[in-house]
Amino acid sequence: MTSIPKLSHRARHARALLEHIDPLRNLARILAPTPDRAEDMAQEALAQVWAQLEKGREIRDLRPYLMSTLRNLNRKPGQTTAELNEVNMPTTPPEVWPRMMVCEVNEAISQLPKDQRALMRLMVRNGASYQELADRFGLPLGTVMSRISRARARLREEFNLPKDHAVDELMDDAG
């Protein structure tokens, strides 16, 4: 009868972390603005938890600890490790980004169904209230609210925003 060798503590840690990589990446994709940032955040969370395990810290339930570490990383502002110089200076003037966002938001709104598009445009451009929209289009208030809600959900999907992200912030960022 052959005995099964015991795993080293490093192998146990690695095996435990491997079980949670897919859920960690899924959460990172929800939280991060880009796929590259999501991957960076997931790797950083894994590295931080690995370091804790290597220091001998006992983590009773690894999955929630990993997810909390990832959420905490999402809350921290991005840190640049290199100073800007002539070689790595961004070539696009900063005022271009809001203009590009306006174009992207307008394009996304133009892809909405006609009934949602008309309401959303007036809300974004004129800051019209639900009641003002209902009066202008001769619709019940609940219908206006429902159409705006569906339009916002489509925009969240289009821009890969989490469900709790206010689409109005997207509009503010764009304009």
pLDDT digits (tens, 9 = 90+) for 74-101: 886 655 445 556 665 555 555 555 666 6
Are 170 and 161 in contact, with CB atoms under 8 Å apart? yes
Which is it for the CA torsion 45, 71, 41, 61, positive or negative? positive
Same domain, 102 and 169: yes
- Per-residue confidence (pLDDT) for residue 175, from 0 to 100: 45
Over the chain (175 residues), what is each successive 10-residue block's mean pLDDT?
54 77 87 87 88 83 89 71 57 57 78 92 86 94 94 84 68 51
Q: Which domain holds residue 69?
A: 9-75
pTM beyond 0.85: no
Say yes or no: 101 and 67 in one domain: no
What does the pLDDT look like over 109-130, one tens digit per residue?
A: 888 999 999 999 888 888 889 9
Total number of domains in the chain: 2
Q: Does residue 37 lie within any of the structural domains?
A: yes
Domain CATH code at residue 140: 1.10.10.10
Q: Is 25 contained in some domain?
A: yes
Same domain, 57 and 111: no
Residue where one domain finishes, among candidates 75, 107, 133: 75
- Same domain assignment for residues 114 and 143: yes
| CATH code of the domain covering residue 43 | 1.10.1740
Domain boundary among 75, 107, 127: 75
